[in-house]
Structure 1
Amino acid sequence: MLTIRHLSKTYANGVHALRGIDLDIPQGMFGLLGPNGAGKSSLMRTIATLQDPDQGSIELDGLDLLADKPATRRLLGYLPQEFGVYPKVSAEAMLDHFAVLKGVTARGQRRELVEALLRQVNLWDVRKRKLGTFSGGMRQRFGIAQALIGSPKLVIVDEPTAGLDPEERNRFLNLLAEIGEKVVVILSTHIVADVTDLCPRMAIIGQGQVLLAGEPREAIRSLEGRVWRRSIDKAELDSYRARMTILSTRLAGGRTLLHVLADAPPEPGFEPVAPDLEDVYFGRLRAQATARAA
């Protein structure tokens, strides 16, 4: 169990990135949802000991991650949003180098480890290829391979599927799901479908605050019977915004499809629709924005 209490961070430019974050993250896949600028990357960097919080604590099975950073880094696997590679180095050579940096100094042990990891992420057949020739999905899978060196207890991946095509995205998410069977995996993303497909537990973050934490299915169930749909002309949208709680809008067939939150049909012409995690996500963000504007 990863336990985060009262975590806050304000940068020198005055940006309040984290505002009293409290989270309990069990073993398995945990989705961290939020828009760009919500504080997800700040939280990930703080957990990964890349920056210090202003206050708060982070513990993993009794280990104070902030007090003992060397110990934290030994049990941590981290794939940041921007993962750079040496383009002219092969996957095998680069992973061998990372293994040395992680303290795997015995040549035979390192060779076995590199082979096992490259096979796990399905890159063994291209191990001699230069990393600069890899597709985006292949680079992300290589990033997971380096994150798994040392059998970490905690794996953090920050926006890992951004820019991947559907096939590579599915392959990468399946890999994460396999890893999450044994360790704590935090998947930080703004792509709601990634969390819906993979994560038994999640949190939504907005403007540095936890807006919701729990099981996606329970969050979706809380909106049952309260989400309504209607297709309108785009020119009517502002009028509807003025008098209804609109969760989301989407263009479909040249018209605008509304999802509206209401306890009863808001007007004639609306039909009930089964809620999904996207409705939960937008609903929480809009509630926060309304509260701040009040």
Structure 2
Amino acid sequence: MKLTIRDVTKTYRNGVQALKNVSLTIPLGMYGLLGPNGAGKSTLMRTIATLQEPNQGSMMLDDMDVLREKDAMRRVLGYLPQEFGVYPNVSAEEMLNHFAVLKGISNSSERKEIIKALLQQTNLYEVRKKNLGSYSGGMKQRFGIAQALLGSPQIIIVDEPTAGLDPAERNRFHNLLSEIGENVIVILSTHIVEDVTDLCRNFAIINKGEVLLEGDPLQVIDSIRGCIWRKFILKSQLEAHQLEYDVISSRLYAGKTIIHVLSDVQPGAEFEAVAPDLEDVYFSKIHEAGKREKRLKKN
């Protein structure tokens, strides 16, 4: 099974072009959609979920035309949006029962068994009688996955699921997503690079509505091996280094600033080579896109 997206464009009425000829091939398993806030990730997720129409392009889930067969797509879709509200005074068990009815699971004994299994899978069974308003952020996200799994979907969309979670809840959520991703397509939309590194066999980087890169995380990391250089500098030196070198990222460490520079050769004797990671790939692509945009504006 795969989701094939071709030349999808979306421009809102205010003139903002959120998606620009987006083409992706999303296979079975965990697929990461990585990009900064405002990159167009949520617009693409809503379009896949049939919540809005693109201006042009096509989406096929195997032989199903997603944009024409919306009801069929919704029957095989599970969706956890970025803003997932819950009724605070209703228990998880009651809320899942309500969602199950809406999903068309009419047999009460069947619903009961399905809900029990989902609560166990998401590690919420012991707190199933508690009101959702008393849940922590991580528990609410796991409840969101439980409702998304109702009806045995073939494709699941999770939009920024780990933002704001503490490390323990983030690990629990990762383990849950990994388990789910063994049998269905799971699209993980996030701005957190580690989420993609930890979970996904395939991913894409999107920025300002455009796909900058698509591939296997390990392969794209290998493609810049030997090209990432590190240097410790004073914060006051950052601007000068940005003018002289291709500085793709900077961060504070022990009162100093660490910069990573993209270069085929050692930029200077004071630079040391470092093993690249997906964060370096991500920042290098965002940096390249920014330089390209500046050149176009000058022309």
Taking structure 2 as the reference length, the TM-score comes to 0.98
Deviations 1:79-123 (A, max 9, x none): 000000000000000000000000001111100111010001000
* Alpha-carbon distance in structure 2 between the residues aligned to 1:44 and 1:27: 17
1:47-126 correspondence runs (5 A): 47-126=48-127
Matched letter for residue 44 of structure 2: L
Deviations 1:44-87 (A, max 9, x none): 00000000000011111110111011111100000000000000
Q: CA deviation at 1:272?
A: 0.3
What is the match of residue 276 of structure 2?
275
Deviations 1:218-276 (A, max 9, x none): 11001100000010010000000001001110100100001100111111210000000
Counterpart secondary structure, 1:163: coil
* Matched residue count: 294
Q: CA deviation at 1:141?
A: 0.2
Counterpart secondary structure, 1:114: helix
Point out where structure 1 has 5 or more consecutive residues left out of the alignment. none
Q: Kindly, what percent of the aligned residue pairs are identical?
A: 61
* Alpha-carbon distance in structure 2 between the residues aligned to 1:189 and 1:201: 14
Q: CA deviation at 1:41?
A: 0.2
Deviations 1:175-232 (A, max 9, x none): 0000000000000000000000110000000110100000000110011000000100
* Alpha-carbon distance in structure 2 between the residues aligned to 1:273 and 1:62: 45
Counterpart secondary structure, 1:149: coil
Task: Give runs of ≥4 in structure 1 deviating > 2 Å.
Answer: none
What is the match of residue 167 of structure 1?
168
1:146-185 correspondence runs (5 A): 146-185=147-186
* Alpha-carbon distance in structure 2 between the residues aligned to 1:82 and 1:197: 23
Cα RMSD (Å): 0.5
* Alpha-carbon distance in structure 2 between the residues aligned to 1:218 and 1:245: 22
What is the match of residue 26 of structure 1?
27
What is the match of residue 214 of structure 1?
215
What is the match of residue 15 of structure 2?
14
Counterpart secondary structure, 2:111: helix
* Alpha-carbon distance in structure 2 between the residues aligned to 1:3 and 1:264: 38
Matched letter for residue 181 of structure 2: G
Counterpart secondary structure, 1:141: helix
* Alpha-carbon distance in structure 2 between the residues aligned to 1:136 and 1:129: 14
